[in-house]
Amino acid sequence: MNPVNYLYLAALLFTIGAVGVLVRRNAIVLFMCVELMLNACNLALVTFSRLHGNLDGQIIAFFTMVVAAAEVVVGLAIIVSVFRTRHSASVDDTNLMKL
């Protein structure tokens, strides 16, 4: 098997995550989809690391995880505070950003 298949898998997961972001309305699920996209990227990075025979790709994937963790912390905090004020976790209810 060619390791390029890992890249196809990553592309597939990324696309599924992206479509999920666009389709789902629950903010938490939305976030999970974003996490899925990040993971897909990580898989691609790890595969590139393997393809090129150095560890830099893994380092980048590591940093991605850290950043994802930070993002999740802040994002979930935002979701919680939005839920407190609007009693809803649906991103469609937070639609004041319009003319």
Partner 1 sequence: MDNLIPVLVAVPLLGAALLLCGGRRLDRVGHLLGTLLAFASFGVGLALFFSMLGRATDQRPIHDHLFTWIPVNGFQAEVGFQLDQLSMTFVLLITGVGSLIHLYSIGYMAHDEKRRRFFGYLNLFLAAMLLLVLADNYLLLYVGWEGVGLASYLLIGFWQHKPSAATAAKKAFLVNRVGDVGLSIAVMLMFTTFGTFAFTPVFAHASQATQATLTGIGLMLLLAACGKSAQVPLQSWLGDAMEGPTPVSALIHAATMVTAGVYLITRSSAIFNLAPTAQLATVVVGAVTLLFGAIIGCAKDDIKKALAGSTMSQIGYMVLAAGLGPIGYVFAIMHLVTHGFFKAGLFLGAGSVMHGMNDEVDMRKYGGLRKYMPLTFVTFGLGYLAIIGFPGLSGFFSKDKIIEAAFAHGGTEGWILGTCAMVGAAVTAFYMTRVMLMTFFGERRWVDDAEGNQPHPHESPAVMGIPMVILAFGSVLAGGLFSINSSFVNWLSPVTGYEEGHSPLSTTEVTTGTMVVLVLGVGVAWLMYGRRPVPAVPPLGSLLTRAARRDLLQDDFNHVVLVSGGSHLTRFLVYLEGRGLDGLVNGIAALVGGTSGRVRRVQNGYVRSYALSMFGGALVLVATTLLMRAVA
Partner 2 sequence: MTSTGEAVQFWVLAVVAVGGALGMVLCRKAVHSALCLAGTMIALAICYMAEGAVFLGIVQIVVYTGAIMMLFLFVVMLVGVSSADSVKEVLKGQRVAAVVGGLGFGVLLCAGIANANLHSFQGVGAANQAAGGNVPGLAALIFTRYVWAFEVTGALLITAAVGAMVLTHREATEVKQSQRELAEQRVRLGTQVTPLPAPGVYARHNAVDAPGLLPDGTPAEISVNPTLRQRGQMRHLGSDLLRRMGELEQSTAGWLGRKAPKPRSGAELARVESEETEQREVESK
Sites of contact with partner 1 (CB under 8 A) = 18, 21-23, 25, 91-92, 94-99
Asked if residue 94 binds partner 2 (CB under 8 A), the reply is no
CA torsion 22-25-30-36 (nearest 10°) is -60
Cα distances from 19 to residues 3, 12, 28, in angstroms, run: 25, 11, 15
Q: Which does 41 bind (CB under 5 to 8 A by kind): partner 2, partner 1, none?
A: none
Asked if residue 20 binds partner 2 (CB under 8 A), the reply is yes
Q: Residues 89, 77: contact at Cβ < 8 Å?
A: no
Q: CA–CA separation, 19 vs 87, rounded Å?
A: 26
Query: Shortest gap between Cβ of 76 and partner 1 (angstroms)?
Result: 16
Q: Which does 85 bind (CB under 5 to 8 A by kind): partner 1, partner 2, none?
A: none
Q: Which does 96 bind (CB under 5 to 8 A by kind): partner 1, partner 2, none?
A: partner 1
